[in-house]
A and B are shown apart, each in its own frame.
Chain A
Amino acid sequence: MRLKRTPLFETHARLGARLIEFGGWEMPVLYTGILEEHLAVRRAAGVFDISHMGEIQVIGAGAESFLNQILTNDVRTLSVGQGQYTLLCNPAGGVVDDLYVFRVDDEEYLLIVNASRVGADWDWLQGQLDTTAITEVIRLKDVSSAYGGIAVQGPRVAEFVNDVFSGGALRGALVPRVTDLRKNQIGIFLFNGVSVFVSRTGYTGEDGFEIIASAESIAALWDRVMAVGQAAGTRPAGLGARDTLRTEMGYPLYGQDLSETITPMEAGLGGFVAMDKGEFVGRAVLAAQQGGTMGRRAVAFQVTAKGPPPRPHYAIWSAGPDARALGHVSSGTQSPSLNCGIGMGFVPPSHAAVGTALDIEIRGQRVPAVVVRKPIYRKPV
């Protein structure tokens, strides 16, 4: 299969990026180095190409009720201009995708979904639409290929991001400036005379914004952000840094920490499941798991000895004598901020409490680790 290229492909080539396959896309994994890009985002600012992410519009008088039946979080709590992290589940409670839903207007929602799941999500949404009892108008539109996106992340982003746009929000959260958006808010702003979506969201744990714009304008947008952010030390950042940054926060990655056979409860995402909102797909299973027992739970861990970094699929063992296999690492890496191995994985609830000692098996050796609270890395205040 030929890999898809984002509208920023030429930009990456000009910057000398190293490219890898990710979710069917040819994406930059790094420009100069993962550690350097990671630390730039933690200390100043970084710009990521997120054009591979999917965008699905849900429009119409029935959009809210429809989404509330298929998403785990409560869509009704969203006022115009507000967004939330949420999950799309199958009847068994397994995760079809994890995503952001924004209420752009009264009867208009924008779903930002994982690149690798656009097709699966679209089929799932269509199937749900075909069987819904809602009679009001619901229109679905996959606009993924029409849009590109960038994420501008880091503690210094707010110093310059207003200079990218002209004027206040036209729709969504009607704020005078981009930096007036609060966390999880979205507004439509003008860039070069073209309207673009700007949300105060991200996947790094830092303050920052995600900007979704037409595929034609995304390269100019990238250049503009780099230009106005130069004095603040803004750098391009690749998927390598994106992965280490999100792992330090304990944010899940679909395909590793989430799948159609992992439920939000098992993944430790129960906070994004609104059990009290009424019926929704997967609710029965999730409610039973919430009130009862589960075979496994996701934990975050930190390696406590010097050793090789943990990686996905490595086995997790109980510590001490009579060690037994508990599960596996779902995400693991060397933390650039903490300078030690960190990760997430699945273990029985008996070994999921914070402070529990675990061993990670790395090439036949057991490396000691401890269950920690998320986020794994906290910035010194």
Chain B
Amino acid sequence: MSSHVPADLQYTKSHEWVRCAGQIATVGITDHAQHELTDIVFVELPSPGRALAAGEACAVVESVKTASDIYSPVAGEVVEVNGALAGQPGLVNTQPYGEGWFFRVQLAPAADLGSLLTPEAYRQHIGE
């Protein structure tokens, strides 16, 4: 089954996506990831104000069968989390790039976006 990989986002090998607007980066998990995880029943998000390093485990997504760590693709401070996921964790399955976003960070001054994957590189990474 072919996964959706939007052209306007950047990606990680651990299946997160990032949308940058100025110094604010929105983070979620990819369509491929939600499909692999199957029905998501709970999402644990980082607290606003928490400083994250790139690659730091900062959220947990739970399907019926397993709990999986989510890693911050970028360094920065959490400024907002998606409160809707508390009541509707299934949004991650149905709208992984939209209403199913996880959190927003204010990018750290030294944040390095260069190591993120392009849509083409991510598509290759998941074998599509």
A positions within 8 Å CB-CB of B:
18, 29-30, 33-36, 240, 244, 306-309, 311, 333-334, 336, 363
Is A29 touching B86 in the complex (CB atoms < 8 A)? no
Chain B 27-68 interface mask (CB, 8 Å, partner A; 1/0) = 000000000001101101000000000000000101111010
Main secondary structure on A side of the interface with B: mixed
With a CB–CB cut-off of 8 A, which chain A residues contact B65? 29, 34, 240
Partner pick for B62 among A33, A34, A36, A334, CB 8 A cutoff: A334
Task: Apart from A240-B38, A334-B42, list 5 A-B contacts with CB within 8 A.
Answer: A30-B38, A33-B39, A306-B86, A308-B60, A363-B44
Q: Whole-angstrom distance from the CB of A53 to the nearest CB of chain B?
A: 21
> From A38, which residue of chain B is reached at the shortest CB distance?
B64
Is A240 touching B44 in the complex (CB atoms < 8 A)? no
- Cα–Cα, bound, A308→B86 (Å): 10
With a CB–CB cut-off of 8 A, which chain B residues contact A334? 41-42, 62, 64
Is A34 touching B38 in the complex (CB atoms < 8 A)? yes
- Cα–Cα, bound, A34→B41 (Å): 11
> From B64, which residue of chain A is reached at the shortest CB distance?
A34
Main secondary structure on B side of the interface with A: strand
Q: Whole-angstrom distance from the CB of B87 to the nearest CB of chain A?
A: 8
| 4 cross-chain pairs, A with B, having the tightest CB-CB distances, nearest first | A334-B41, A35-B39, A34-B64, A308-B42
Is A333 touching B42 in the complex (CB atoms < 8 A)? no
Is B67 touching A33 in the complex (CB atoms < 8 A)? no
Interface centre among A35, A333, A363 (most CB of B within 10 A): A35
With a CB–CB cut-off of 8 A, which chain A residues contact B62? 308-309, 334
Is A35 touching B60 in the complex (CB atoms < 8 A)? no
With a CB–CB cut-off of 8 A, which chain A residues contact B67? 308, 311
Is A363 touching B60 in the complex (CB atoms < 8 A)? yes
With a CB–CB cut-off of 8 A, which chain B residues contact A18? 38
With a CB–CB cut-off of 8 A, which chain B residues contact A244? 64
Can you list 12 residue pairs at the A/B interface with Cβ under 8 Å? A33-B38, A34-B39, A34-B63, A34-B65, A36-B39, A240-B64, A240-B65, A306-B86, A308-B44, A309-B41, A309-B62, A363-B60
